[in-house]
Structure formats: structure tokens, C-alpha cells
Structure 1
């Protein structure tokens, strides 16, 4: 397999063997917003060859402050379609499976998670997030990485990675634990996540967008409240989430050589 010249700087650092492994790695990404869109871009720019994008939402004005594919020209279009177009301009050879859909227990089988090496959770709707995590952890061959709450964060220096069971001070992680306890208990299998204990409060007025006729199943419309965000924090969550995949691929590749 010949390494594309697009990845010459990456191949210089990682080596041809790991680049070939990245090209054959299959990743399923759920949620393509302020975290997921940057995660997707980082994965494609680093050489991941197969990526499924799942999101039901369309680009809204409030997305422009933090989502990689959100511009004045893409307003009203499905996020996954616009993001896929952007990713193909970066690497025309990347294999994309684009799903404008909501993950939920009733449709879980349609995503065929068992066919992927990694499942990435960048969903911020609690019920769907909990269902996805539980499903992914039930598949031994799948490695799950998840993002906790990126809203109301300002300092990228406080972003950490760690085991879900040891996360402290993250509101979404706390709500997720409560959800798990009410729906069968916290999964026995732990997983790595991206999180921050930074605590901030909203200072401005809430201007939540409502679901439209073209966008009735928006994940965001299910939120109890809408919190403020800044791109340099949400993007960093996404970049760190992508790094977990790359670093895990590297560890597995190095073990295969020993």
C-alpha cells in the first residue's frame, strides 16, 4: 500500500507501518457538533481510512461559533452531509458512511457496531448517549472512547483523559452515572473519556433553537437546557478524542511487532 503524499509529514513521524494500520482502521463517530466535527477532521487528516458519521441535525446559526463545517453557506443543510463534503476535500480517498439518523435502542442494530474497531461518543443527549455507550461496551471487539461535557468550558489546559469511573466534577458524567443506575446499572466494562472539571456559569440569555419540520429529531431539541460554548474548548475535546484513537492504534501496532 502506497502512502498518499498528503500524509508525508504524518508518515515521517509515525512510520509507514502505523500509517497502513490507520488506513485500515474503522471508526464510528456519533455526534458531529462542536466536539465531533473536529474529531472527524483530525482523524481524516491523520490518515484514518474508514469513518461512519452519525447525526440527525442540520446546520443552525448557533452552530457557527464552534463546528468545523458550519458556515453561512451551509445553514439548513444536514451536518453529516456538509461535514462529509469537507472531509472529502481533505482526503478524497477516505471511505465515509454518512448517516443522518439518531442513535437509539430501537435502531441500534442498523449501525452494525460490531464491524468497527472504534466507537466514538460525542453525543450530548443523555438517553442516546447512555444507550450507545452500553451497546458499544457489550461488544468485546469494539473500543469505546467518549466525550463528556464540553459546554461551559473555557480553559483547554483543564481538559483530561481518564477512566469514566474516576471522572470527578463533570456534570454530564454525573448525569450519565445517574442514568445508568436507573437503567440497569453502571456497565461493568470501564472506558476512557475526555472530560474537564472546570466549572463556569452561563452569563447570557438562552436562545435555544426549536426543531423544525425538516429537522424534527434534532438531538439538541431534547436537551433540558442549552449551555454556552466556545470553539477553542469544544474543538480541543474533539482533538483529544481523536488522539485517543491514534494513540491506541499505535499501542496495538507496536504490540503486534513484539
Structure 2
């Protein structure tokens, strides 16, 4: 192979110059912040260990473009302009939702609203995208917001610690007129309500079906709700939507892997829990699952990344 050494030298010098400029801007940015001390634009989240400090929103554009350089190389300036301007609402901040939000921010999406009522648990650390031990016991949406701002300080992340209900859908979903609504909700009743609402409103919606009890990444698909198979959650959602007159028009991420009870099954509750009375009384919220679903930490991440890739 013959190389054009003159052209290669020019590329190397240009790349080095851009990187040097970005680093100089970054160092200047840090030194400027350190001389200011505690400015009015730097907000501190009231947390007992004072760990989270909100970054300055005046993050230099040259640094944003350097951080997103590979994305710009892939989509081009016009494509990245569109990506950076879209508004995405994500409902559910667990394994799938957290990975989706994290990669949306890393991809350049600036405006994100994330809705979830749950807290980070120790057992969720095997699949949550950014949570650490220090986040256990804190709201998932706040954990996501704080961590993402350490990665992409230019992001506008609205964290809403609340349960989605049809009566608050206009405020949680429609407010701001989102370009995409991403459903990562576990509870089937809330899921179906959200999908029906978005279908009637005409929002571009992507819904995550079940990532639990799955292990084959080659079986993950993107398709219409009418084409989903081998997914018990998708089957239940499809039936309920059909009763509401919705046969298709809902894009889903789902796994076509056949359920194998020898590989993974729903963990049983101890007998003494049944002796206490209604099993549903053990749940944090009525109708939300009580028994533990086996989940490989990788599968929710694959679902979340697939959603971001499809959205882009």
C-alpha cells in the first residue's frame, strides 16, 4: 500500500492542533472556575456527603464538539444539529431506561425528561447504567441526572420522581411536545395506558418489552407490536392494546429468544410471606411486581442502547 505522506502529515498536524486547542480551552475553563470560587451559577445539590456539584452550564461549544467528535464524524453537522435539538421523554429509569438516558446524553441529545418513582437498590447495580453504592436508596431519576451531568454538563435533564398515571400524562409526557417518547415501564397497566395515550396523540414512541429471563443478544429485534413473538410481556401488552382498538403502530424493542425455564425462572416467595396475607401488600405500590425476575445485567443495557440507536 502506498501512502501520501504529505497528506498524512497534514492530517496528523491538524488533528493534533484541534486536540491541543480543546485541551487549552478545557484548562482555561477549569482555571477560570477555580478563581471564581463558589459562583451563583454553580448550584450544589443538598446531599449529606456534598458529593454532587452541578457543572457550569456555560460549557464551551468547542469542548462539546470535541467530546462528540466521533458522533459528528458519523452524522455530519446537519445530522448532529437535529440530534442536539430533539426533546426525548423517557419513562422508567431502571436497567433499560438508565442505559437509554445515558447513551442519549452521550450521543448529543440535549433535552431529556426522565420519569420514575423508584429508588436505586443494591440489587439493581448489576444493570443500572451509572448508579454506584453511594446512590443506593436515592431516587433513580436524581441519580441519573447527577451522574449524567458529570458526563455531559450541557444536558438539560428534567428528573421527575413520580408514578406515571393516565391522569398526569399531559404534564409528564405531553408538556413541551416531545419528539420521542420512550417507554421503559415495568408495570403492564401503566405501560398499556402510556402506549394508548401516545398512540392517540401521535407521538413517536418506542417501547421496551421484557429483558428479564433472556440471555441471547442475537435475538433482540426492533419491530411493530404486531410482529413481536416469544415475549410474554409483549404478548400481554398486545392483547390489551387490541382490546383498546390498537392493532399496530407501536414500535418495540423485544427479544425473540424462546423462554427456557431451565435457564431462568421467576424466583419463589418464601412460604412465610404468603402466611402474612395478600402477596400484593408486600409491594411498594399496588399492582407492581413483588417477586424477583432474574435479569442478566447485559440484556437491559442492550435493550437501552438499541433504543438510542433506533432513535438516532
Name the TM-score class by shorter chain.
0.7 to 0.9
SS of 1:80 mapped into structure 2: helix
In the alignment, structure 1 segments of 5+ residues that lack a partner are 247-258
Q: Does 1:124 align with 2:186?
A: yes
Q: Does 1:195 align with 2:257?
A: no
Alignment correspondent of 1:254:
none
Deviation at 1:200, TM superposition (A): 2.8
Match of residue 160, structure 1, among 209, 221, 226: 221
Alpha-carbon displacement from aligned partner over 1:111-168 (angstroms, at most 9, x marks no partner): 242610000001111000001111111123x210111110001111111111111111
Q: TM-score, normalised by structure 1?
A: 0.85
CA–CA distance in 2 between the matches of 1:9 and 1:51? Answer: 21
Match of residue 303, structure 2, among 237, 248, 251: 237
CA–CA distance in 1 between the matches of 2:99 and 2:211? Answer: 13
Deviation at 1:206, TM superposition (A): 4.4
Match of residue 62, structure 1, among 104, 115, 123: 123
Alignment correspondent of 1:228:
294
**Number of aligned positions between the proteins:** 238
CA–CA distance in 1 between the matches of 2:174 and 2:247? Answer: 19
Aligned partners of 1:35 and 1:122 also within 8 Å? yes
Q: Post-superposition, which runs of at least 4 consecutive aligned residues in structure 1 deviate over 3 A?
A: 203-208
Q: How does 1:1-258 map to 2 (within 5 A)?
A: 4-113=65-174, 115-140=177-202, 142-182=203-243, 184-185=244-245, 187=246, 190-198=249-257, 199-201=259-261, 202=264, 205-206=267-268, 216-217=284-285, 222-223=288-289, 225-246=291-312
SS of 2:154 mapped into structure 1: coil
CA–CA distance in 2 between the matches of 1:211 and 1:57? Answer: 17
SS of 1:81 mapped into structure 2: helix
CA–CA distance in 1 between the matches of 2:216 and 2:248? Answer: 30
CA–CA distance in 2 between the matches of 1:211 and 1:191? Answer: 30
Deviation at 1:107, TM superposition (A): 1.4
Structure 2 CA distance for partners of 1:73 and 1:15, relative to 1, 3 Å:
same
SS of 2:238 mapped into structure 1: helix
**RMSD between superposed Cα atoms in Å:** 2.4
Based on CA coordinates, which of the two structures has the bigger radius of gyration?
Answer: 2
Q: TM-score, normalised by structure 2?
A: 0.71
Q: Using CA pairs below 8 Å that are at least 6 residues apart, which structure has the higher relative contact order? A: 1
Aligned partners of 2:112 and 2:157 also within 8 Å? yes
Using the TM superposition, name which of 197-206 and 81-90 deviates more.
197-206
CA–CA distance in 2 between the matches of 1:206 and 1:98? Answer: 34
Aligned partners of 1:25 and 1:50 also within 8 Å? yes
Aligned partners of 2:116 and 2:161 also within 8 Å? yes
